[in-house]
Structure 1
Amino acid sequence: MDEVGYGLLDRTMIQRITENWHQGGLGVIIVHLPEVGASALEALQAWSADQQRLVWRYRMESDFFFFLKREKNDERLDKLVDKSVESLRSRLSQMHPAVLTPSRGARKKQSFAIGSAVAFPSGTGRSAEAMVYYAIRDALTVVMRSQLREESAAQAEFNSMRANEPQKEWDSWDSTYAIGGLAKPIPTFYSTSRVSEVAKMFESNQHVQGAVIVNQGRPVGLVMKENMNQLLAGQFGLPLYWSRSIEKIMDDDALIVDAGLPVEQVAQLAMGRDISRLYDVVTITQNGKLLGAASIRSILEFITNLRTEEARTANPLTGLPGNASIQREMKRRIESGKPFSIIYADLDYFKWFNDFFGFSHGDELIRFLSSVLQDVTHHAGERVDFIGHIGGDDFIVLSDEVEPEKLCKQMIARFDGGVRSYYGNAQVSAVKDRSGNLIEQEGVTLSLSLLLWDGVHPITIAAISQSAAHLKKKAKSMNGSAYVIGDVVQMGLGEERS
């Protein structure tokens, strides 16, 4: 099987696959190799030679695509594909063994990821191209999830090794959600440039995969090296296009995004494109002018790292984002310049509760507070509202709700209405403060510090923390559950108690 297509779904490939899948469908196997070494390539080549049902193969950067057919008397397609995957996994494990990751402890990290899926001829009128596209997408999803599981598991083991290390209250991670942070330089051409000029640039720069077509600094199109090669390799490609302007063959509907757009949103837009554009770079602009471009690989790697970091810093008791994610989200909101509110929540007399009822009941009470904050925010807040667990009985809510006071009122009502069930049959009429003094109080209460920011006056995370500490002290000085409001910039304005 010597055929290697110019594109994943080029005309020859579709024709060949359509000819071979009517006996029972098509199997898709995708292998991702973070480091494409000689041993891994040898393993793939040896495995391919053994696959009698292989009808097409293709490589795109670190991803290798294999397509298998089913003969009339073969076993079920899913079983055939599973056996092929197992044999492939075995070969890669032998010739490309697991590698150590000292930065994350002694755990062995798998150095490849495999995903598979099956496609069958459809009676619904879907084309062969559409069916193969969905199978490729499903297999890619498996590959991405496999990579994420490996990273998360490695991080979990690393976390257990540093469980006794002192933790900072704010654990920073130098990254941003914005796609602009992933922008890299990319060659540019005017729309009047000749196709031959662009082709020669690609030929002399083997690692360049795309070029942006600009008009007065603004991107108007995209040319990918692979697509150009496929076009020029056609029967009349060279005589038809070689001397013509590049605008004749550029993609004038390429994905162009603003630098401030979140990476995850860009990933959704990119993965939602047609399969023929799946690996096209994403063009990034700032104030309408070209900033750079990001490859799909860099975007997916960023998201994988982001998910791994979130898993590493998530609070193990509640599963809510921890301090690194909290700081990152707060920074993102400040940089966006849009007004938002911050609610700090913590429990009064929680030490007494722990001492009186035990730490396991204390954990249950913290989980109860977590559920209160999540339920209220979900039903009464905005879709983009964020909830984090700072540690212990301290939580934070970042909200775009225009009436954040209603959130505070509902949180207090929900908490006060459910907290007594955690006392069991005990009758509580007094508690002890941290100094051991007896206080007439019917158990644990909830204190909320509500900070407002107008999106105009400059603020910092440190200023928010200081303002919150000031309000927290006021809220805790009041009897019963209470919330206190303050402006981040001018703490003397608008304070009140519920």
Structure 2
Amino acid sequence: MEDIGYGLLDRNMIQQVTERWRHGGIGIVVLQLRHVNAAALDAVQLWMSQQSRLFWRYRMENEYFFFLCRIKSDRQMGLILKSAVSSLTNSLLNSARSSASLASTATEAGAEASAGAKEKLKPSFTIGTASASPSGIGRSAEAMIYHAIREAMLSMLHARMKEEDAEQPGIGNGEAWENAQWNSSIGIGVLAKAIPTFGIHAPVSNVAKLFESNTHVQGAVIVHQGRPVGLVMKEKMHQMLAGQFGLPLYWNRSVEKIMDDDSLVVDANIPVEQVAQLAMARDISRLYDVVTITRDGKLLGAASIRSILEWITNLRTEEARTANPLTGLPGNAAIQREMKQRIESGEPFAVIYADLDYFKWYNDCFGFSQGDALIRYTATVLQDVTGMLGASGDFIGHIGGDDYIVLTSCSVEETDKLCRSMIWRFNGGIKSYYNGMDVANVVDRSGNRIEQNGVSISLSVVYCDGSKDITTELISQAAARLKKQAKLLNGSVYVMGEVVEKHLGEGRIT
């Protein structure tokens, strides 16, 4: 085994990593020991002595970072990591079995104390891994190492979430949102769970006694006049009190002296995804700390990193499951959720249904591959124009085939401009999809030849002013009615109307 270093992201460590990249990257193993004891430390030491590829390590409280390299003739880094994790797991499990065996041989008189010792000796642990290679153009070594460490930490967090009992009471069990509608714009308030609170003058002993009496409580928020001013995490407080002078120094002092007064506090309306980014950007020492949630400045509750990451994971899974495979745009399930949310908000919005005219003719003439390219082109047009001229938070979905939907918060006048720009942009690029042919007519679904310069786009726009008791079904019916009007017109057109049958206008760019 090579010399082991002890810095994380210091100059020597970065130099060591950079030197080993040329042989195919490095691997990172992050170990979290939830019960640090002599047996577990011996197991880790034994494992390290067996790792010929280990060249750097670092400990941060109860987390250990191990860096492994590969040489030119080695197998892939993924296999090296898999083998390293397997041997580390076995080493820790063997130490746990040995400790349990020793505890079970205690005398009957010391059975109660032995049971407590057995629990303390149990090396409960979680492992995460990641690999890094110098493939990021324009990124510094420090940035690449940092992102790899974060990836390993996330891997460990996901592993820990799977290990924990989903029915465990306390912060982060997900009960508040288990059956909720997944939406990236939903505020973090949906994840808020009750958390113990203390005033700033409460003695540290009171907080410690709460943690001792309730093993499921992981933290407490310190409040002043109903507003959160600090955070105390159980694990960190125990480490502080376990020091040589910890108890006499802090036990009777106010909790204000030991609280983290720079913890992450967010408003309930901030989207979950944004909070996740803020939480993961924190210093590694705060990565597991709960996120304090407020409403109008007053404490609402807290959310654990586990609950936030579970939300993001489920969101990503749902998005991937329902997204259109051709364009990557959200599918029907996400479209329905987005529309329902806008209806429930009571704010005005417009629904733009877009579909291509004579797309079947195009497929028959130019083939399905070209047809797929035209589908993607149309999606790009809608995305680009909405991104430039639409409102913040506008939504673009792919219903299927050549049918799309745009939900926008633009006014009637702004939506009119949006539709005109979509048509102008579509017409400006469609000719490049005819392979140089001069198209003068097309064929409809009945086989009739019609004079028209190829494929056109029809937009059916339903405006919802937010004051009516509308449903997604009524919006769809209104769109179908407007679509029939649009199909009666030649060329690329848009027709606007309200949910009730009231014609607002139409436009065409030929």
- How many residues align? The count is 423
Distance 1:32 1:182 in 2: 27
Shift of 1:272: 2.4
Q: Of 335, 338, 342, which aligns to 1:329?
A: 338
Name the residue aligned to 1:102: none
Name the residue aligned to 2:83: 90
Q: Of 151, 170, 190, which aligns to 1:141?
A: 151
Residue 452 in structure 1 maps to residue 478 in structure 2: no
Distance 1:146 1:471, change over 3 A: farther
SS in 1 for 2:474: helix
Identity of aligned residues (%): 58
Contact 1:32 1:143 (C-alpha < 8 Å) held by counterparts = no
1:60-139 alignment runs, 5 A limit? 65-67=64-66, 86-92=79-85, 113-116=128-131, 135-139=145-149
Distance 1:313 1:433 in 2: 31
Q: Of 458, 461, 480, which aligns to 1:469?
A: 480
Distance 1:226 1:414, change over 3 A: same
1:241-296 per-position Cα deviation (integer Å, ceiling 9, x unaligned) = 21223233223332222222211111111122233322211112345443321111
Name the residue aligned to 1:372: 381
Q: Of 272, 290, 293, which aligns to 1:263?
A: 272
Q: Of 328, 331, 343, which aligns to 2:352?
A: 343
1:149-168 alignment runs, 5 A limit? none
Distance 2:503 2:42 in 1: 70
Name the residue aligned to 1:29: 28
- How does the TM-score come out when normalised to structure 2? 0.69
Name the residue aligned to 1:175: 182
Distance 2:379 2:77 in 1: 46
Shift of 1:369: 1.2
Shift of 1:343: 1.6
Distance 1:240 1:493, change over 3 A: farther
Instruction: Give 5+ residue unaligned stretches, structure 1.
Output: 1-12, 70-75, 98-110, 119-130, 149-171
Instruction: Give 5+ residue unaligned stretches, structure 2.
Output: 1-5, 19-25, 91-125, 134-140, 159-178
Name the residue aligned to 2:230: 221
Residue 243 in structure 1 maps to residue 242 in structure 2: no
Shift of 1:116: 4.8
1:171-206 per-position Cα deviation (integer Å, ceiling 9, x unaligned) = x98324322232233222233322111111112222
Shift of 1:137: 4.8
SS in 1 for 2:507: coil
Name the residue aligned to 2:281: 272
Contact 1:28 1:136 (C-alpha < 8 Å) held by counterparts = no
Shift of 1:337: 4.9
Residue 390 in structure 1 maps to residue 399 in structure 2: yes
Name the residue aligned to 2:312: 303
Distance 1:432 1:175, change over 3 A: same
Residue identity opposite 2:182 in structure 1: S
Distance 2:247 2:57 in 1: 29
Shift of 1:309: 2.3
SS in 2 for 1:497: strand
Name the residue aligned to 2:427: 416
Contact 2:498 2:504 (C-alpha < 8 Å) held by counterparts = yes
Residue identity opposite 1:306 in structure 2: L
Contact 2:27 2:81 (C-alpha < 8 Å) held by counterparts = no
Distance 1:56 1:383 in 2: 44
SS in 2 for 1:480: coil
Distance 1:192 1:175, change over 3 A: same
Name the residue aligned to 1:107: none
Contact 1:314 1:321 (C-alpha < 8 Å) held by counterparts = yes
- How does the TM-score come out when normalised to structure 1? 0.71
The worse-fitting range, judged by mean Cα deviation, of 262-271 and 248-257 is 248-257
Name the residue aligned to 2:102: none
Q: Of 195, 212, 217, which aligns to 1:203?
A: 212
Name the residue aligned to 1:479: 490
Distance 1:193 1:255 in 2: 21
Contact 2:442 2:449 (C-alpha < 8 Å) held by counterparts = yes
Distance 1:18 1:147, change over 3 A: closer
Contact 2:183 2:315 (C-alpha < 8 Å) held by counterparts = no
Distance 1:381 1:82, change over 3 A: farther
Distance 1:42 1:456 in 2: 69
SS in 2 for 1:362: helix
Shift of 1:346: 0.4
Distance 1:21 1:201 in 2: 41
Shift of 1:299: 1.4
Shift of 1:210: 0.9
Name the residue aligned to 2:47: 47
Cα root mean square deviation, aligned: 4.4
Residue identity opposite 1:256 in structure 2: V
Shift of 1:320: 1.9
Distance 1:240 1:59 in 2: 20
Distance 1:229 1:41, change over 3 A: closer
> Radius of gyration: which is bigger?
2
Residue identity opposite 2:494 in structure 1: Y
Distance 1:312 1:173, change over 3 A: farther
